[in-house]
Each structure stands twice: as C-alpha cells, then as structure tokens.
Amino acid sequence: MTVFSHRFDPTVLREYDIRGIISETLRPEDAFAIGRCFGSLVVRAGGSKVAVGYDGRLSSPDLEPQLVAGLRACGLEVLRVGLVATPMLYFAAYQLGTDGAVMVTGSHNPPNYNGFKMMLGRKPFYGAQIQEIGRMAAEGDVVPVSTAGSDAQVDVAAAYADRVMQDYDGGERKLKVVWDPGNGSGCAITKVLAERLPGEHFVINGDVDGTFPNHHPDPTVAKNLEQLIAAVANEGADLGIAFDGDADRIGVVDNEGQILFGDQLLVVLARDVLKAMPGATVIADVKASQVLFDEIAKAGGNPLMWKTGHSLIKAKMAETGSPLAGEMSGHIFFADKWYGFDDAPYSAVRLLGIIARARETLAAMRAALPQVINTPELRFDCAEDRKFAVVQEVKDRLAAAGAKVQAVDGVRVLTGDGWWLLRASNTQAVLVARCEASSEAGLERLKAQLAEQLRASGLAAPDFSGANAGH
C-alpha cells in the first residue's frame, strides 16, 4: 500500500486560504495533497460530495485536475463546475447540496500566483483548519484510498444568473452602466447579467486572460480603475462596476468618476436593507470609517465593528444573524435574501436596483455623506515574529496612558480629532495602519501619535507623503 505524505512550502498555508507562486512555492502535487487532506476531512465529517471550480489563471487548468484526483482518491463524488467566479462556486455548494467546496484561484494576486479557497459544509474554512491540512499532509493522516470516487461536469451558470436576477428590484428605470471584470473569471457572468438587466450596459476587459493584460485585477487600487473611470465619462454612465480576479470583491465608480470606497458603498447598501429590516445588525471591518458606523445607526441599524478577513466576517454574520456586512477591501456579504457569502456580481445587481429606484445619483449619495480626511490603508514591513508583539506593546502603552481604545482587531485609538488604527496582517509580514480625522491639522496629529508609538517599539513610521484623501 502506498503511504501518502506531503510537505507544503510553509509560506502557502495562509489565514484564509492556501496561496503561493506557481513552480516556486505551489505546484500540481500540492493540489493533489490538498484534495487528499481536505477530502479526508469531508469524509470524516460524514460527507460524500464536493464542488470544485477554477479561475482564469494560466496555471488553474493544471491544478484543478490534480485537486479532483485527490478528492476522488478519498472516495468522494466531485462536481466540477468549471471556470467560474468564486461566488458561483459557493452558490454551487448550496444549489447542488455538496458537503464542501474548493475554488482554485489566485484572487487578486499577480498572474504567477494561484491558490485554493475552501468551505466545509456551509462554513468558511480558515485559520487553524488550514494549518491542519499541513499537519495531515506531513503525517499522512488521510482516509484510505478508495476506488469509489467519481467526477462529473456540472454547469451552474444559468441557475446562478436566474437566482441573482430574481433579486433585482430596480423597476423600469433604465441605467447606463460600465462593467470591468478585469479579464478575470467573472467575465462570462458579467456579460450574461449585462444582457439581462434593463438599460444600456458596456463591458470592458471582458475576455478571460490569465496574464491580466489591461490592469492588475484589484479594484481597491485607484490605478486599476482608471480605464473604468474613463469609460464612465465617455459613455455618460450612471456608474461603473469592477471586479477582482475571481469576482468576490467589488469596486464602484460613480457618475462623476469618483471612487466609492468599501465603507461608502456599504452605507448605500445598508440604508436599503435597513428599510426592510429595521434594527438589524450590519457588520464592517475595523478599517472602516467612523462615518459608516454612524450612518448605520442613523438609518436605524445596529453597527458592529469586527475583525478584518472575509472568513471572520462570514462567521460573525452567522453568529449574529446579520443580514449585511462589508469590508474596506470590497468584500460585500448579503444574507437578507442571499446566502451570506461575499459575491461581487450579486452585490452589483443589488446596488443597481437601489440606484434605479433612487431620485438622486450615486454621486449625490456620496457627496451627502459627512466629509472626513483619511489616509488609505498603509502597509509596512514588520517581521513575522514581531508584528503581533508590536501591536501588543502599543496596546499596553496606550492602556497605561488611559487612551480610549477599541481592541477588536489590533488597536483603534479614538481621540478628539478622529481615530488611528494599527493591526497586524493575518496573511503577510506587515503591519497595517490607517488614520481618519475631520480636519487636516487633526489628521497630522493622529499620524504623529501613530509614528510615536511605532518608534517606541523600534520601528520607523510609514511614509505618509501623499497619503491624505477626502472620504
């Protein structure tokens, strides 16, 4: 009997997924090992069926068959949904009644990356569970090889599009919309929705290309939205919508070509959800503007600040029964009528319904929000074995000084000027900082306080030059 044993490059087992550089830290044999180990967990949990999808990266067609082979070796029935957006795989898990799901995707990383996102049952698979995959592989702790496994191709695209369109509630008003799926795996579904929605729709960068020839597939970076902004202006569109490489994150540009940040978008969505569900809990991550939390409360909701990370947010939504959540990174989660997972095409359709019913433009909605000045997310290197320690040191000093601190995820320090945040990234050897104030002078004071705390822990302050932005 062949004894299974495999060692992963230690850098690929991340907090929320498995991800690495093709042919350097991630190879097809890793995909087989993931199938073997994750499949064993499904079998031990009493499951028999797993859905698998993959994104448009050049390496995905090499990884997906190996993943399937590993799952089949566990005796599982594998339902292969093909090249799809990540939320379409999540949808398949519900639609097909599977016991788990694995998506081969490098998300918004550069073209030479790839990876795996998983759900076990209906829950996100992350943190210690991903580390457990590494242990199982190293120790060969897997179920015996079975010849009972099988695989079949299943197309969920039509069912997904039908279900998404079921929740479009924009009436007859016809919008003009520009879409940019960024040559990612959301291209096909973008074209289907653009065809079915009322109004005029223009799709740019709409063909899958794993080299991402037009721009990097990350809609939270302003540079990657330049084409979309230009197209919105050229077409005189009501808004522009962008997706990341696997379409689980959304970026939005209003009719004036201004970017709506994740927290501003969540304000627009939350007001609509709260009309139907007054008093409901709406969750946002710790990096979001105070404006968001205030506006949720003003709209009759219960704002809840939570830890950054899509898996952590999904788990908190399930725990609290929240119908809506979002992150600054563009992950938006609907659970009022939808399934509670992050889904950019679905979020786009819900947003279009709101704008089509509104008397004002999206730009007017954005402009009416209280104006604050903030830095973008600032990321700077800090050794893996120091990053959490630095945050704890800062927390201890602030506690001794009697500062007002929210410690949900790192430290978010509240002052008369506004707030500043310092947290350790769960996925990289970096610290993340952000500051927000009601005035330029206040923002400078916050940045000085942050820099002082970093210096006290032996770190240089991040480069704040050019970092201020109205929001």
- Judge whether 372 and 360 are in contact, CB under 8 Å: no
- CA dist 305 and 288 (Å) reads 8
Give 326's strand partners. Answer: 284, 332
DSSP 208: -
Give 4's strand partners. Answer: none
The CATH classification number of 18-155 equals 3.40.120.10
Q: What is the pLDDT of residues 116-128, one digit of tens each?
A: 999 999 999 999 9
Give the count of beta carbons closer than 10 Å to the beta carbon of residue 343. 28
pLDDT at 471: 57
Q: Is residue 21's pLDDT more than 60?
A: yes
**Average pLDDT, stretch 95-99?**
98
Q: Is residue 469's pLDDT more than 70?
A: no
* Type of residue numbered 384: E
Fold held by 373-470: TATA-Binding Protein (3.30.310)
Q: Is residue 239's pLDDT more than 70?
A: yes
Q: Where are the beta strands (DSSP E) in 11-71?
A: 18-21, 49-54
What confidence category does residue 461 fall into, taking pLDDT thresholds of 50, 70 and 90?
confident
pLDDT at 462: 76
Q: Evaluate whether 159-367 and 373-470 have a shared fold.
A: no
**Average pLDDT, stretch 67-77?**
98
Q: What is the pLDDT of residues 435-444, one digit of tens each?
A: 999 999 999 9
- Judge whether 297 and 112 are in contact, CB under 8 Å: no
Q: Is residue 2's pLDDT more than 80?
A: no
pLDDT at 212: 97
25: left (phi over 0), alpha (psi -120 to 50) or beta: alpha
- CA dist 20 and 204 (Å) reads 29
For strand 281-285 and strand 302-306, is the pairing parallel, antiparallel, or unpaired?
parallel
Q: Can you give 443-468 as a three-state secondary structure string?
A: HHHHHHHHHHHHHHCCCCCCCCCCCC
Q: At what angle do helices 86-95 and 157-166 cross, to 10 degrees?
A: 90
Copy the structure tokens of residue 256: 């004036």
Alpha helices in 140-276 (DSSP H): 157-166, 187-196, 226-235, 262-276
What confidence category does residue 225 fall into, taking pLDDT thresholds of 50, 70 and 90?
very high
Q: Is residue 173's pLDDT more than 90?
A: no
- CA dist 436 and 283 (Å) reads 19
Least confident range of 157-171, 191-205, 224-238, 415-429: 415-429
Residues recognised as catalytic: 107
Q: Is residue 385's pLDDT more than 60?
A: yes
What confidence category does residue 150 fall into, taking pLDDT thresholds of 50, 70 and 90?
very high
pLDDT at 172: 75
Q: Strand order in 259-260's β-sheet?
A: 200-203, 176-180, 239-243, 250-254, 259-260
Give 114's strand partners. Answer: 20
Q: Is residue 465's pLDDT more than 90?
A: no
Whole-number mean pLDDT of the chain?
95
pLDDT at 171: 77
Overall pTM surpassing 0.75 (yes/no): yes
Q: Is residue 470's pLDDT more than 60?
A: no
Q: What is the pLDDT of residues 207-221, one digit of tens each?
A: 999 999 999 999 999
The candidate with the shortest Cα–Cα distance to 423, out of 331, 311, 287, is 287
pLDDT at 179: 98
Give 260's strand partners. Answer: 252
What confidence category does residue 427 fall into, taking pLDDT thresholds of 50, 70 and 90?
confident
- CA dist 431 and 327 (Å) reads 18
Which residue in the block uniquely carries the two structure tokens 């899509």? 310
Segments making up each domain of the chain, as ranges: 18-155, 159-367, 373-470
Fold held by 159-367: Alpha-D-Glucose-1,6-Bisphosphate; Chain A, domain 3 (3.40.120)
